[in-house]
Structure 1
Amino acid sequence: MAVRELVLLGTASQVPTRLRNHNGYLLRWDDEVILFDPGEGTQRQMLMAGLAVSPLRRICITHFHGDHSLGLPGILQRISLDKVPHPVTVHYPADGQEFYDRLRHATSYWDNASIVASPIAGSSWNDGPLTALPLRHSLPTYGYRLDEPSGRRMVPELLAAHGIAGPAVGELQRTGRAGDVTLEQVSVERPGQSFAFIMDTGLCDNVFALAAGVDLLVIESTFLTEDAEMAAQVGHLTAAQAGRVAREAGVRTLVLTHFSQRYPDPSRFLDEARAEFDGDIVVGADLERVPVPPRRAATAGG
C-alpha cells in the first residue's frame, strides 16, 4: 500500500533544545523518498524514528545555514556505508557550491554510492514532479514543491451505461478511447496530491506561489508576533504570517516548525496561527508523523 507521510526529525531553529533537534524532515511519497534540510543529528533522529537511508532518492537543501545542512556529511557517509544501490540526488542552491563541496567530503570515507549533485539556479527550477523557487533570506535560499499530476477515476455506472467492460476498460485507460466512447465520458478527474516545504524566508510572492492549494504545507514559524520586527530584519516568518499564508493560499494542512528556543510554550504558535487559519494545524514535534491528507474528491468534467 502506498504511503505518503512526513516524518519530523527536528523542529528547532538555530539553537537546538532538550526537546527539539536541529532541522530534518523526511517525506515518504510512494517510492519518492525525500530528505529535506538535514541538520546536525539527523542520522540519529532517523534511527530513533525507525528510518533507514536506503529508500532515499533525493536530498533537498534549502540553503547552507548550519541548522539546515550540517547533518548532510553523516547522511552521505551512511548512504555509502550501507551501499545504497540506486543514485541519490542532492538538490541545493548553486550559489552555495563551495559549501556543498566541503560537506560532500567533510571527512575521509569509502565512497561506495552514487551521489548526484544537482545545483539549483534561476527564478524557477523543476525536476520531474519537484519544483523550486527562490525565497528571501540572508543568503540564497529555495523552497520546494512536489506535485502529483491529476488523473482519472473510472466510474462503474458510466462504464456500464456505455457498455464498456473487460479488455475495453484497459483500452480506454491506455488510449483514451474505446470505439466511440472517450475516457472523459466514463471517468471523473482525480486531483493529484501536493506538498510544499518553505524554510527560512521573509514574506514574498514565491512563498504564496509554493503554497498555493497544497494538501500539506511545512513552513517555518520561527518567531511570534511580538518579535515581528526582528523576524523581518533576519528574513524569517512569524506563526501568524505562516497562518496567513495557509489561509490565502488555500492550504489544507499546515505544519509549523523551525521554532526559536526563546519561546518555551509551543501553544502560543498554535494560537497565533489559528487566528489567521481555520484549517488543520500541526505544531511540529520531533519524531512526529503527519500523513498527507487524502486526495480531494474526484470531480466530473475535463
Structure 2
Amino acid sequence: MLKVTFLGTGGSLPTTNRNPSAIMVNRDGELIMFDCGEGAQQQMMRAKTGMMNLSSIFITHFHADHILGIPGLVQTMSFQGRTEPLTIYGPEWVEEFVKFLTAMGYYKLKFEINAIRLKSGESIKRDGYSIVALNTEHNVPSIGYALVEAERPGRFDRDKAIELGVPVGPLFSKLHHGGSVEVGGRVISAEDVVGDPRPGRTIVYSGDTRPCLGVLKASDGADLLIHDSTLADNMIDWAKESMHSTAGEAAALAKKAGVKKLVLTHLSSRYSDDATPLLNDAKALFKDVILAEDLLVIEVPLSDD
C-alpha cells in the first residue's frame, strides 16, 4: 500500500476550506509526514490516518505555514502515551527548531524528538525505499523530497519452474528472491524462471519552489508529482518575486519529466472561491492533473512494467 492523504493544501494561511501545507503518506502501515501546517492533527483525525505510527516528519522549509502544526501534534501524541522516538528532518535550522519545540510549554514530552539536517542529494534509506532530499529554489533555505521505492523482483514464471522440475513449495520463494535450487542433480537459477526486475514507485513533493532542475531530475518518470502551484499563469511576475510556481509552470515541468500524475497544491487564498483557473492553466499543457483538496486521498498503484 502507498497512500497519500492531503491534510492541508493552501498557501501561506488557512482558509475556510484549506488548511496550510501538510501531507501524510502511508506505506504499508508506516506513516510519513511531509510538512505540518497548523491544524494538521485535526485533519489527521478527520481523515482517520492515525498518528501513533508516525515515524518521521520531513520539513521542506521553516516558513510558519509548514511547521505550526508540529507543537500541537507532538503534545497530542505524548498525551496519548507515545514513547517511540520521532525524527524530524529538514534543511538548515532544523536543529534549532527542535530545541524550541521541546522547550515549549510546561508539559514534558514522554518521547524523544531527534533532528536531522539534510542537504540536497542526501538520502535516508529505509526498508524497501529511500527518502531523497532535492534542491529547490525558494526565498529561504529549502529542500524537496522524493520517496523512491527499491526495485521489485520480476514476475515468477510458475509454469516454467514446474516444467524444469521444481516442486511447488518453498523452492519457488527461494527462486523468486534471487536464489538457486538443485533439482535432480540440475541447478536451476532465478534467471531461468524470474523476469526482469520491476520498478518501485516514486512520489515527489516539491515544497515551495520555483520550477527547478532538482525537482525535474527527481521527477523523471515519477508515479506522482506534488508541486507548488500557488498562482495562475497570469500572475507569473508575482510568482517569480515570491519564489513560487504557477500552475502552468508545474504542468510544464511534469510534462518534461514524463510523470504519470500531477497534483497542484499550495494554492493561494486568492482562489478560495474558484481554483479552476489553476486547473485550466495546467490542463492546457498536461492532461493527467488534479487540484489538491483537503482530505483528498490518492493511492499509488504498483506498475507491472
Q: Which whole-Å deviations, capped at 9, do the CAs of 1:149-186 have from their partners, x for residues lacking one?
A: 11213122222232223232133235522233221221
User: Residue 182 of structure 1 corresponds to which residue in structure 2?
Assistant: 189
User: Residue 79 of structure 1 corresponds to which residue in structure 2?
Assistant: 77
Q: Which whole-Å deviations, capped at 9, do the CAs of 1:111-133 have from their partners, x for residues lacking one?
A: 10132221213x31111011112
User: Residue 288 of structure 1 corresponds to which residue in structure 2?
Assistant: 296
User: Residue 162 of structure 2 corresponds to which residue in structure 1?
Assistant: 160
Cα pair distance change 1:222/1:183, threshold 3 Å: same
Gaps of 5+ in 2: none
1:15-30 paired onto structure 2 within 5 Å: 15-30=13-28
CA distance in 2 between partners of 1:207 and 1:194 (Å): 12
1:249-288 paired onto structure 2 within 5 Å: 249-263=257-271, 264-279=273-288, 281-288=289-296
Match of 2:16, SS?
A: coil
CA distance in 1 between partners of 2:138 and 2:207 (Å): 9
Q: Is the 8 A contact 1:10 1:286 kept in 2?
A: yes
Letter in 1 for 2:252: R
Q: Is the 8 A contact 1:72 1:104 kept in 2?
A: no
* Aligned with 2:210 (options 195, 202, 208): 202
1:47-58 paired onto structure 2 within 5 Å: 47-58=45-56
2:304 equivalent to 1:297 = yes
Letter in 1 for 2:279: L
Gaps of 5+ in 1: none
1:1-302 paired onto structure 2 within 5 Å: 3-121=1-119, 123-128=120-125, 129-152=130-153, 153-165=155-167, 166-179=169-182, 180-188=187-195, 189-263=197-271, 264-279=273-288, 281-292=289-300, 294-298=301-305
Larger CA deviation: 92-101 vs 107-116: 92-101
Runs of 4 or more above 6 Å deviation: none
Q: Is the 8 A contact 2:176 2:194 kept in 1?
A: no
Question: How big is the shift at 1:96?
Answer: 4.3
CA distance in 2 between partners of 1:116 and 1:97 (Å): 8
Q: Is the 8 A contact 1:143 1:210 kept in 2?
A: no
CA distance in 1 between partners of 2:176 and 2:62 (Å): 45
Instruction: Give the alignment's TM-score, normalised by structure 2.
Output: 0.90
